[in-house]
Amino acid sequence: MELGIIGLPNSSKTTIFNALTRGDRPTSATSSGKLEFHTAVVDVPDPRVDALSALFKPRKTLYAKVTYTDIAGLDTGMAQKGLSGQLRHRLSQMDAFIHVLRAFEDASVSHPLGSINPQRDLEVLDQEMLLLDLLAVQGRLERIAESIKRAKKGEERQTLELEQALFERLHDALEAETPLRDLEISEEELNGLRGFGFLTLKPMLVLVNTGEERVAPERFVAYDHRHTVIMSLQGKLEMEIAQLEPEEATVFMEEFDIAEPALNRMIQASYQLVGLQSFFTVGEDEVRAWTVRQGAAAVEAAGAIHSDLAKGFIRAEVVTYDDLIAAGSMAEAKKAATLRLEGKDYLVKDGDILHVRSSL
């Protein structure tokens, strides 16, 4: 899973990126406006992995991963100017966006629009994305119309007419300034749209950087859309915590009365925002969190571990995390009848522990 960190120039995106990745990219310099991408892979914090590791004492402990990419080069007027092929390609690859909004004053870093106004900044980039999607939809509708003229009656024409109806729905929504993620779109329709990389179709985590204040995001922005999460955090403070050693970070958080880094919640929220969940494999060699989509069947989870496990799938031994922790071991879970056998169509739940039996 890859999430793109976006925002206007000097919105404090790099501070958030550093906090997420324990990085040290410069944050004080004024944005150059150049097209830049900086990427890092981050563990998804999960206390269940820690507890399973303590129980099995494996040689390796591996967490689920999420990739964050800091994307520079987004600004007002980008839809009118057009996107470069490189930027459009990178944006289309993202599974979701984190839109960073600056809600604090800093005399050393000017705001490109002259003042601090998170609601305005949110709407500015939203409008750019809506327009970019609208232009793409209009272009596709023109091509569909030309294809319908040439198509003979039958399956090909019917397919084109169905696509035309879908894109007309998208066009109407975008003209009404409605993000595409607000629409009811079937899974089949979504599969057909994935290749277009529509920006407003992607889930959005709106992140308000409140500077030195601990303030709820609702004080700064109102944003009611589907597949959207709104959070606030103290960016600079979180970056400082992330760059400390664990023992020092604990003391630091106690001093500031912080129970848990906000970034942990942010990483978990972004993981869930895309519709993903974790299941686990355990043993003396390795305890590991694996990522699958919500609603995935056991055979799909087996394929996430290794393609051969999916091809030769026989059955899966399954126990929930809570039942295993309560039992204290796999043997005790089996005695308590909480370890069960499931077939390939079993829908994996978040926190399931799987052992896949395969003929390969």
Three-class DSSP labels, 111-161: CCCCCCCHHHHHHHHHHHHHHHHHHHHHHHHHHHHHHHHHCCCCHHHHHHH
Q: With 0.85 as the threshold, say if the pTM is over it.
A: yes
Q: Are 38 and 25 in contact (CB under 8 A)?
A: yes
Point out the residues of the chain with pLDDT beneath 50: 29-32
- Provide the residue count of the chain: 360
**Spatial separation of the C-alpha atoms in residues 277 and 25, rounded to whole Å:** 31
Q: What is the pLDDT of residue 26?
A: 67
Please tell me whether residue 13 adopts helix, strand or coil conformation: helix
pLDDT value at position 171?
98
**What was the pLDDT predicted at 33?**
53
The Cα–Cα gap between 23 and 21 comes to 5
What is the architecture, at CATH level 2, of domain 295-358? Answer: Roll (3.10)
The two tokens of residue 30 are: 């004024």
pLDDT value of residue 30: 46
Whole-number pLDDT of residue 128: 93
* pLDDT at residue 78, rounded to an integer: 81
Amino acid identity, position 97: F
Structure tokens at 29: 């310099």
pLDDT at 151: 86
